[in-house]
Structure 1
Amino acid sequence: MAPPAKAITSPVPDAWYPTLAVFMLAIGLVLTASFFIYEATSSKRNRSLAKELTTGGVASVFLGFGSLFLLLSAGVYV
């Protein structure tokens, strides 16, 4: 006979979802604000594409995972 199947569980405990959501969304919003400040205060000649892409990419990752944990903490399992 085959061994009984193990239940699929989350690698992150359910109690951590609200905390992770708050911290990740806060970090993402701070990075987004710094991106907008950088765009507004630097001239076209002094801008760096690498810095813009890095800041935007990291901010979007934090906002994406923060939104995911916010939905999970609210009971919307995606």
Structure 2
Amino acid sequence: MEVLVYLVPLALSLGFFGLLGFLWSLKSGQYDDLDGAAWRAITDEEPNEPSVPIQIVKMDQDIRGSGRQRCPREC
């Protein structure tokens, strides 16, 4: 029974932190568009924004298109 002295405050503090996290997510707008995410998961349309930033794609194309290897140890 002595363990309850530790477990009850621990359970109450974890519940309090969970409540604070839930209230923070409500305030920050995490639950504003619940149906939009579900429809985006099942539609076949491509997103309007590229998933990889354009600058990284251009750098990758420059490296692949140069024709030379970048690893001096393996050359």
TM-score, normalising length from structure 1? 0.39
Higher relative contact order (CA 8 A, sep 6+): 1
More helix by share: 1
TM-score, normalising length from structure 2? 0.41
Work out which of the two has the higher radius of gyration on C-alpha atoms and give 1 or 2: 2
